[in-house]
Amino acid sequence: MEERHPPYGGQRVTCVGWTTRSLSTKAAGAALNEGAASTLWVLGALQRQRLLKAWRQGFCYSCTIEYSIGLRSPYARVWSPCAAATPSADKDPSLSENTDPQRQDAEQTPQGQDQNGKTKPSPLKNPRVKWTLIVVGVLALILLLAWFLHWLLVGRYMQETNNAYLQADAVAVAPRVNGYVTEVFVRDDQHVRKGAPLLQIDDRTYKATLQQAEAAIAVREADIAAAEAGLAGYTSQLVQARAQLTSATATLKFAQAEVKRFTPLAASGADTHEHLESLVHQRDQARAQAEAAQSQVESAQSQIQAGQAQLRQAGAGLKQAQADADQARVALEDTRLTAAIDGTIGDKTVQVGQFLAAGTRTMTLVPVQTLYLVANFKETQVGLMRPGQPVEIEADALSGVSLKGTVESISPGTGSQFALLPPENATGNFTKVVQRIPVRIRVEAGAEARKVLVPGMSVIATVDTRSAKQAKDTVQDEAEQGEAAR
């Protein structure tokens, strides 16, 4: 077989009776060591793949048949298949080594050169690559500049925290009277309106107490009527006694005048002493009657005062009875618990037949329609916060949805100041810890969002403080003015 220099930078190898499946240097060296007389040109990657395909189909040297593999090349010649000449991979280990043609190219071609041995040009010299890199760099610079401008004008005034939770002024439902539960009107997670019945306590005892109080009212009203009647009698007696006193007083005055008129006459002998003595006796009798009438008047007045006191006592008794009746009526009304506000029932623990003592919590009424947000911002974040500033709210339950809110108020102290055990930094070693200040935020959410939002949910709150960005300058000016005034 004639030897020719192969194109495309091919390498020449020698085979032993059978064309090797491996085109590696190791396999070629093993073939040369056997002293074979036949030669085979190793061409490019595509040619090698097609030659290997022919070899695996069983072509050998015994028959000189040209097998076309689609290449117009004088070096693309292999021979007809021969089963007798087909070796096995177990007898010739070189047949199973490095069968990947692309790996052979990588091993045979030096780095930085193509398969023809030519030096590859640098990608940076390609104008298209160069302009692509320039455009990408300019776009990156523009994006960086836009981000910086956004941070300078907007971003640095946005104060964000994830230490924020939804809250609601929940109401614990507890009875004010003792008794056994006879009926429960609600279930867990049920929405109720204000005034809706929640549960019923056995009211028979309280009805009897109310009836007893109403009977006591009737008794006190009768006492008042009797006292009023007695007072009226005492009043008439007083009138009669005063009339008698008036008559007795007039009789006494007349008798005194008669005695005074006839005393000189009896002394001069113009009248008898017996007549004068009779007049004196009448005068004394009239005086006694006047004094008796005066006593009757005073007695009637005393009786009137006693009657008035009795009437006042009866009136006080009536008020006491009415108060007892009102208390019994309230206790009877308290046997039925109703919703104090609009809300949703939660954490219901009461059951029919259960005995409840006054103050025992039975369920919780949560006003989910009046939710608000408490965000605990760091003290370094609240310098520009003011009530009325807009807030952007992102709830974990509504991922990707942005809700709106408004700052309502800022706590008058840090959270640690209202803790059960406030810190005492004057004792022991001091370690500065950034404090957090609770900020109350009104949540502006629609009906659909409130179906999902419940107290206790975690949210991310971002407050826009741009409306107060001049506050620090104002504080500095005030400090300088105060320093100048001193």
pLDDT digits (tens, 9 = 90+) for 395-423: 988 988 999 999 999 999 888 888 877 77
Same domain (yes/no): 306, 408? no
CA–centroid distance for 156 within its chain: 27
Same domain (yes/no): 380, 472? yes
CATH code at position 393: 2.40.30.170
Q: Which amino acid is at 339?
A: A
Cα distance between residue 343 and residue 196, in whole Å: 11
Residue 54 is predicted with a pLDDT of 55
Residue 390 is predicted with a pLDDT of 93
Cα distance between residue 346 and residue 338, in whole Å: 15
Let me know if residue 456 belongs to a domain: yes
Residue 112 is predicted with a pLDDT of 52
Let me know if residue 190 belongs to a domain: yes
The residue ranges of the chain whose pLDDT is under 70 are 1-121, 124, 266, 269-271
Same domain (yes/no): 129, 236? no
28-31 long-range contacts (CB < 8 A, ≥24 apart) are: 30/94, 31/94
Same domain (yes/no): 317, 355? no
Same domain (yes/no): 316, 349? no
Let me know if residue 158 belongs to a domain: no
Let me know if residue 37 belongs to a domain: yes
CATH code at position 343: 2.40.50.100
Residue 28 is predicted with a pLDDT of 44
Same domain (yes/no): 281, 237? yes
Same domain (yes/no): 223, 296? yes
CA–centroid distance for 274 within its chain: 113
Same domain (yes/no): 216, 311? yes
pLDDT digits (tens, 9 = 90+) for 25-45: 444 444 444 443 343 444 445
Residue 338 is predicted with a pLDDT of 94
CB 468 within 8 A of CB 386: yes
Same domain (yes/no): 39, 95? yes
Cα distance between residue 329 and residue 322, in whole Å: 10
The whole-model pTM stands at 0.55
CATH code at position 321: 1.10.287
Let me know if residue 4 belongs to a domain: no
Other Cβ atoms closer than 10 A to 295 = 12
Let me know if residue 161 belongs to a domain: no
Let me know if residue 139 belongs to a domain: yes
CB 230 within 8 A of CB 238: no
Same domain (yes/no): 188, 213? no
Nearest to 254 by CA among 262, 242, 266: 262
Give rounded-to-5 percent helix, strand, coil for the chain: 45, 20, 35
Cα distance between residue 124 and residue 15, in whole Å: 44
Domain endpoint, select from 108, 131, 162: 108
Domain containing residue 129: 121-153
Let me know if residue 114 belongs to a domain: no
Same domain (yes/no): 349, 445? no
Number of domains present in the structure of the chain: 5
Residue 303: both structure tokens together:
């009786």
Residue 236 is predicted with a pLDDT of 82
Same domain (yes/no): 340, 377? no
